[in-house]
Each structure stands twice: as structure tokens, then as C-alpha cells.
Amino acid sequence: MQTLSPQRLTELRLKANDVRQGIIRSLEAAKSGHSAGSLDMADVFAVLYGYVMRHEPANPEMPERDRLLLSCGHIAPVRYSAMANFGYFPVEELLTLRKFGSRLQGHPERVRLPALESTSGPLGEGLAQGVGMALAAKMDGKSWRVYVVTSDAEHQCGLHWEAVMTAGKFALDNLTCIIDRNFIQIDGSTEDVMPLEPLGEKYRAFNWDVIECDGNDVASLVAAFDAAKRVAGRPQVIVANTVPGKGVSYMEGDYTWHGKPPNREQAEVALRELQTDRERILADV
């Protein structure tokens, strides 16, 4: 069942486009950073901030806010761009990415920005932190939810699976893990480096509810998050199937863009493509 009007879906698609443009501008200004995963998660973050989560940019430490953790901290540009485009700080500040003294470090630092719930960098830790928060919310009788964004490759870390088991044991139905299933890591395909499939079946074995969706389609994501909220007695994992570098033709599907930024000429091409995509979204209204 579709819960959002076509107009609201269009607004979210335009926000995702804004987020992608902010990513390109910030990476080009920084001359370092991670492109592929940041771009492919723009739709997820637009839906989280624009539809799913209970949050207030003007009151970022609101006690009843939902918690969002970015476990794969190297794709910080997508979170920063989403936060800027949803009113947490000026969009112009994105151009300070990775600069000395900037609040926008290469990996998120909890004390730098409001509503950054955790400092992330070492892969595999985020879900464990989220499990602790979700369990605390249950113990305190709180209604807020915990969302943890993870990469697929960090599922090669043992700590992550300890957290998966713990969440299943305590039936943390206030916890949703989102997997950026783009099939790449810095050295190539996940299935060549360390195969992960059957990924969904592994989660089901630990008493998780598994929801698969098109992670680059706003309507599919809205339906997935709605389904997750309806689950009782089990944590949920959303396997968001994405295209690395989504929105920029020369990056899409190319693992070599995992950990490098565009130069000025490449950024200009990317921004022209994204502007064309924006016009297409508006034309489809």
C-alpha cells in the first residue's frame, strides 16, 4: 500500500538529487573522500530524514528523537549532505569537508555536530552500538527507534555478527539495520573478496525480519521502512540493493570509485548529469 502521494515522492526524489549534488561539491572541494557509496545511499538518507525518522533540526538533541548511526563512516559525505539539505547546518559548509578545524571530518565525530549519535570509522562497530541504544530504549520504556546504516563489506567483520545475535536474542523490534548492498569494496566485488550470500538467510537464522528493496527507488524504500515499523518481536534488516556511484554515469558500477573523489572536470560532468536528472524528475510530475 502506497503511503505517500506522488507529490511527496517527487519531493523526496528531488531531495535525494540535492544530496547527490552536495556530495559531489564537497568531495571535489576536499580532493579526497569516498564517492561510490556516498552517492548510492542518497535515496536512503533522503527517505530517512524526509519521511522515516522522528527528528527536529531546530532541536537536534530532542530526547524522543530517533537515533541514526552511520556504521560505515567513510561515506560521511552522504550524511553531511543530507543533514545540510534538511536544515541542520548551512549547505555552504559542505565545502569544508575534511578541512582542518571543520566540523565535517572524513569520518563522523560525535562531538562535532548535533545529532551525530556516534563516532564511526572502524567497520563493524555500528550495529553493536545501535543494539546497546535499542536495548536501553526498551529498558527505559522509550518509544524512539534506532536506525543503523551499514555497508555490505563490513559484514565480513565478526563483531557485526555478535551484534546480530544479541539483537535477535533480545527481540529488539525498535532496531532497523540498513545494508548498502552495492556488492563492492575497495579491492573489488564483495563476492570475490569474501562472499556474503545468502545474506538474507543469515539474518533470518538469527531471528531477524528481512526486507529487500531497491535502494535507489524512493517508493520502494518508503514501503520497506513502513514494513519494518510494522514488525513486532524481531529486529529488522533492510537489504537496500544499490548501484555504486548512482547518478553519475562514469562512476556507476565501478568499484574503483569506492575511495576517490572527482576532480574539477569530473565534478562538472557529474553536476550536469545530476541537473539533467533533476529536470527529468520535475518533468515526470
- Smallest Cα–Cα separation from 84: which of 151, 8, 21? 21
110 domain-assigned: yes
CA dist 136 and 134 (Å) reads: 5
The model's pLDDT over 22-39, given as tens digits with 9 standing for 90+, comes to 999 999 999 999 999 999
The model's pLDDT over 203-227, given as tens digits with 9 standing for 90+, comes to 999 999 999 999 999 999 999 999 9
Mean pLDDT calculated for residue range 76-89: 98
Q: Supply the CATH number for residue 194's domain.
A: 3.40.50.970
The model's pLDDT over 161-186, given as tens digits with 9 standing for 90+, comes to 999 999 999 999 999 999 999 999 98
Q: Which domain holds residue 88?
A: 6-283
191 C-beta neighbours (distance < 10 Å), count: 12
275 domain-assigned: yes
Q: How far is CA 244 from CA 4, 226, 255, in A?
A: 27, 25, 7
Q: State pTM to two decimals.
A: 0.96
Cβ proximity of 255 and 197 under 8 Å: no
- Environment class of residue 38 by beta-carbon count within 10 Å: exposed (0-12), middle (13-18) or buried (19+)? buried
Give the three cell numbers for residue 36.
561510490
1 domain-assigned: no
- Residue 1 pLDDT more than 70? no
Give the three cell numbers for residue 90.
548551512
Helix pair 76-85, 6-30: axis angle to 10 deg: 120
42 domain-assigned: yes
Mean pLDDT for the chain overall: 96
pLDDT at 138: 98
Domain tally, the chain: 1
Cβ proximity of 68 and 60 under 8 Å: no
Give the three cell numbers for residue 226.
513502513
158 domain-assigned: yes
Share of the chain above pLDDT 70, in %: 99
